[in-house]
Structure formats: C-alpha cells, structure tokens
Amino acid sequence: MATTVSDFIIERLHEWGVRRIYGYPGDGINGMFGALQRAHGKIEFVQARHEEMAAFMASAHAKFTGELGVCIATSGPGAAHLLTGLYDARLDHMPVLAIAGQQARAALGAHYQQELDLVSMFKDVAGAYVQQPSVPAQVRHVVDRAVRIARSRRTVTAMVLPNDLQELEYEPPARKHGTAHSGVGYSAPEVVPREADLKRAAEVLNAGNRVAMLVGAGAMHAGDEVVAVAERLHAGVAKALLGKAVVPDDIPWVTGSIGLLGTKPTDEMMSACDTLLMVGSGFPYSEFLPKEGDARAVQIDIDAGMLSLRYPMEVSLVGDSAATLRALLPLLEQKNATNWRNRLIHAGERWQRVLEERANAATSGKVNPQRVVTELSPRLPDGAIVTSDSGSCANWYARDLKIRRGMMCSLSGGLASMGAAVPYAIAAKFAHPERPVIALVGDGAMQMNNMAELVTVAKYWRQWSSPRWICCVFNNEDLNQVTWEQRVMQGDAKFEASQDIPNVPYHRFAELVGLTGIYVDDAEQLGDAWEQALASPRPVVLEVKTDPDVPPLPPHVTMEQARHFARALMEGDPDEGGMIANTARQVMASVIPGKK
Ligand SMILES: Cc1ncc(C[n+]2csc(CCOP(=O)(O)OP(=O)(O)O)c2C)c(N)n1
Ligand SMILES: [Mg+2]
C-alpha cells in the first residue's frame, strides 16, 4: 500500500522522537488514526475522555519530560475542545503540537458540517506556527517547522489537516521553484550571557547585604546551581508556584512559595532584602516583590520577553538558567551574611509552627483541609510526582506540601485552569510509570471534568509498572477558593446560587469504575488513609470531607481585605458561625503561634 500523507506524518513525528500522542478520534481525523494503527505502536495513542483533557496531558507530558507534548483531535468540536489545554501549555511555555482534523478541501468555505475556520481559531494560542497544508508535497515542511518551532520557542504550534488530504498518497516536494525542502532535528543551544554582562550582574549581587532569590519553572534543571549561588550569596530562596520542585523544602533558608499562595518568610524576605536575583520565573504579582527602588535586581531568563517585566531590573541576562548561574558563580564573592541567613531561618521555623497550628486547629465537625496535606507530606515516597488543581487545595499544595530532592510537581500555573490535576497526573504516570503520582483536587474541579478522566485511569492502569496513583478529593460542597475571594477581595457574602455544589460520593464513583475508593471524615483517620492509599494494589480515589470555612489566608492580610471580610459578614454570610471561629483560629495561629 502506498504511503499516505498520514503515514508520512506519523513516521516523521517518530523521527522527531515523538512516542506518545494524547487525543480523541472523529471522522475529521480518521486518516491519521488509520496511520497510527498501521504504525503498530511505534507511537502510542492514549485515549482521553475529552480533547481538553488530552491537551492538558500533552502540556503535562512536556512539563514532566522536557519533551514535545502532542495531542490530536477531530475537526470542529474536537479541535475547539483542545483550546483550554493548549492555552495552559502556551502560558506555561511548554512545547506542544496540536494536530486537528478539518473538512475536505473541496467543502471548505461551504458552511459545511463541523467546518470551523481552525487556522483562525488556533491563531492566538498557536500563533507561533499554525498551518493547514493543502497538497501532499507541503506536509513535510509543515511537520518539521511545527515541531522545531514548538521546541525551540517552548510554545504551542498547530497543524490542521483536511480529511481528504490525510488519505492522499504522500509526495515529497519536487525539485523546482515554489517548493520547500526541510529536514528533521533540533538541539537546544546552551545560551550564556556575555562576560561583560555577567560581570555587571556580579557587581550588583556582590554589593548586596541581604540577597533574596526567586526561582521559577525555568530553573527546574538548575537546582544544584541555585543552591550553589544561594550559598555563595548567603541568600534565601523563594519559589514561584511552578518552580516548587526546583529546590527542596528541607533546606532551612528556602522560604517556600510566594504571592497570594505564599508564605510569611517569603513575604518578609521580599520586603527586607536589598538585592533580588530572579531566575526563570514569570511570577505575575509585582506587589509581592520588593517595593520599586528598595532592592537592586538581576534577572536571568531564556526568553528576553520575560525580562524586567515584574520589577525594573538593573541587569537582565538572557540565558539558560543552569549555564548562566554556573558562569556567574566564579564572579561572586563569598558573603558572610550570617544575620540575614539566621533571620530567614528563624522566620522559617516560626512559620513552620504556624502551619502546624493552622493544620491542627479544630474545625467545626469536618476535616481541616490543611491537615490532608500535612499528613501526606512526610509520607510522600521518594520520587513522587504531585499535581494540584486550581482551587483552595492549591494553597495547601503551595504552603503545606514539602518537596524533597528528586520529586516533581506541577499544576496549571499561568492559566490556573480548573480540571488539570487528573489529566496532569495521568500524563505523569505515562511518562514515569514507576513513580507514585498524587493529584490534589477540589470537588468542583472533579465535577467539571476530572471525574471523567478517572475512567481513563481505569482503562490504562494495568499497563503501568506500578499502580500507585492517587486522586485526593477535597469534598467541601463549595467552589471554596472563589467563595473566599468574593468575601475577602469583594466584601461580598457567600452567593449560594453560584458557590454551593452538590455532594457527590467520589469514592463510590471510583469503585463503580473499577478503582479503589477511600472515604475520610475524621482528621485522625488521615494518616492511615494515606498509608493505605500509597500501598494499594490499584489506583485510589481518597475522598475527604473537608471544612469550607477554613480561610485560604494570604501571607499577610491587608486592612482592605479585613474590611471586605467584615463587610461580607455584615451582609449576612450563610456560613458565618463556622467561618468566624475558624478564621479567628487561623489568624491567631499566625499572630501568636501556640494560642488557639
Ligand atoms: C476553568 C475554570 N473555571 C473557573 C475558574 C475559577 N475558579 C478558580 S478556583 C474555583 C473553585 C474551585 O472549586 P473546587 O474545585 O471545589 O475547589 P475548592 O476551592 O472548593 O477547594 C473556581 C470556580 C477557573 N480557575 N478555571
Ligand atoms: Mg470545593
């Protein structure tokens, strides 16, 4: 049988190193699925329940492997479903290729069934490269450029394939005018700034007495270099949400997360430092960085577009984080900032006591959600991968989960989309089947789409070399993160019509689809439940009945936020009683550790 355009594309993607594609079929993309089948597993196809989930999986594949993530969907609705997952990859700078079907070339422009203008639709999310080839000889360079551009710019690209084109016989481009002759292959350069710029950066850093570092996902492969530079500068290290796994939390001068989901030691460090070194982070909220002018600052980023954006930098270095830190190190003088270091270490110890108090504070009948994570943290097996959804659990993930060396973790950062934790955890397991994988998920996010992806886990888990895969559901019958945002940011009482969500027995749903379900409604059972889940011979849904009245407090509560909260109470919040008692306990734990 002649090689079709689709056979050629699959073969070419294989040459590019693609070994797995996430997606969902449909008649707009059947040619490609036929070719996938004929390739006899050279590229594995993983079937998600929904194309958005397939795109989240592709994004997570890129995050957990450093490789290109690939997702595939049919024309019209399938392609449209991909968008949110693709935006997740785009905003977190992940290389992802989307392959979408399209109606036959002769029907295009005819208001045909399932005909959308997909090139225009993808133009924003995959603006770096989106093409709809119209003849076989065009396909080779479209594949090559789509992959090379996605990888080199760490972004999303898209290929839209008319269904009749997919089935045509493949033709290489003829040697004549008006054709392109492309090849396979890309290796990332090691980008290091010029010596003169490194020296300018070193001068700023050497002059400081109280250095703060902020590291993000761009420093993920530079953990050792971050530690070496921090030791030389006697700096403290804060971590942006996506940079949580860059350095372990058991280092006493690692101050933890930053921002609304941040820690008090980070907040203190950022307001007291005289020098800031930011590495591989696009952390968005400038108000959590030093006040403009209070600190001299240096930033390292591989993407010049992300430089000097959140804080006016004195020296902006374009470079790979690991290579640039290595080049910088010999230019840095050993500091002896013992007071600064001790101040950070003491702040860290105080904060740890606050977190413990907050997690152990009594709640009104239901489980304190912080405790779910503080009980997991010390039980995390080596090499575990943790994902979190967007919702109040992201607060506990950011603050209470202690990452050790060799672990990985991620979430939908820039897009902060609900519904990413389970598809992320599925992609993590496909990429690293031997590692334990744990997803932390709110009940709203379960209902939105994560529940359906449990069916995907049930379909595939027997293929994984280790079955250890856990989805922990925080069942608070509330869209809690937003309920608190409405109270604290807007001063509005809880709007039950928009915030209450139905109670669903997630653990029983798990059993229904063939997984193990565990239910916990008493904090004292949490430790055993985690141990049981981690030892389970099949994947587990651990459902915990958590208290929605525990406030996900920012590191410091501003007067304006306190006023809004008071106004929400005066408006008559339906959860007033539990909320006031819990908030008081949580705030007291921060003000005077030891007093409840
Ligand atoms: C796709 C999407 N829709 C809406 C939001 C806004 N949002 C952020 S968190 C949240 C509530 C999540 O509720 P749940 O999953 O139950 O977690 P909880 O906060 O209750 O722990 C909402 C609605 C979002 N981030 N993403
Ligand atoms: Mg909830």
Residue range(s) in the chain whose domain bears CATH number 3.40.50.1220: 195-344
**According to the 3-state scheme, what is the secondary structure of 461-472?**
HHHCCCCCEEEE
- Token pair of 515 as six digits: 């997984």
The pLDDT assigned to 588 comes to 60
- Alpha-carbon distance of 372 to 368, in angstroms, equals 7
DSSP H stretches of helix in 129-209: 139-153, 163-167, 195-207
pLDDT of residue 566: 79
Q: Which mutation among 366, 367, 389, 390 tests ligand 1's pocket best, with the greatest number of atoms within 8 A of CB?
A: 390
CA–CA separation, 347 vs 353, rounded Å? 10
* Proximal ligand: closest to the CA of 393: 1
Q: Is 198 exposed, middle or buried (0-12, 13-18, 19+ CB in 10 A)?
A: buried
Atom of ligand 1 nearest to the CA of 548: 20
List average pLDDT for each run of 10 residues in the chain, which is 596 residues long. 91 98 98 98 98 99 98 98 98 98 98 97 98 98 98 98 98 97 97 98 98 98 98 98 98 97 97 98 96 98 97 98 98 97 98 94 90 98 98 97 98 98 99 98 98 98 98 98 89 91 98 98 97 98 96 78 80 80 68 45
**CA 147/CA 141 separation, integer angstroms:** 10
CB 364 within 8 A of CB 547: yes
What is the topology classification, in CATH, of domain 5-167? Answer: Rossmann fold (3.40.50)
Atom index in ligand 1 nearest the CA of residue 481 equals: 19
Specify whether the CB–CB gap between 289 and 270 falls below 8 A.
yes
Buried b (16+ CB within 10 A) or exposed e, 379-389: ebeeebbbbbb
Residue 581: the pLDDT is 72
Tokens in use for 236?
């403290």
Q: From CA 269, how far away is CA 171, in angstroms rounded? A: 61
Task: Give the residue range(s) of CATH 3.40.50.970 domains in the chain.
Answer: 5-167, 361-478+498-555
pLDDT, position 587: 65
- With tokens 């020098």, the residue in question is 275
How much is the pTM? 0.96
Whole-angstrom distance, CA of residue 478 vs CA of residue 504: 12
Give the pair of three-digit tokens for residue 396. Answer: 């506990």
For the CA of 84, the closest atom of ligand 1 is: 1
Beta bridge partners of 131: 159
Cβ–ligand 1 distance for 547 under 6 Å, the answer no
CA–CA distances in Å: residue 513 to residues 312, 486, 540: 53, 36, 11
- CATH tag for 361-478+498-555 (out of 3.30.450.40, 3.30.70.2740, 3.30.465.10, 3.40.50.970): 3.40.50.970
Location of structure tokens 């049988």: 1
Q: At 208, list the tokens.
A: 């400081």
State whether the beta carbon of 427 lies less than 6 angstroms from ligand 1: no
CATH of domain 195-344: 3.40.50.1220
**How far apart are alpha carbons 446 and 508 in whole angstroms?**
13
Alpha-carbon distance of 356 to 303, in angstroms, equals: 39
Residue with tokens 């005819």: 110
Whether ligand 1 lies within 6 angstroms of the CB of 393 is answered as: yes
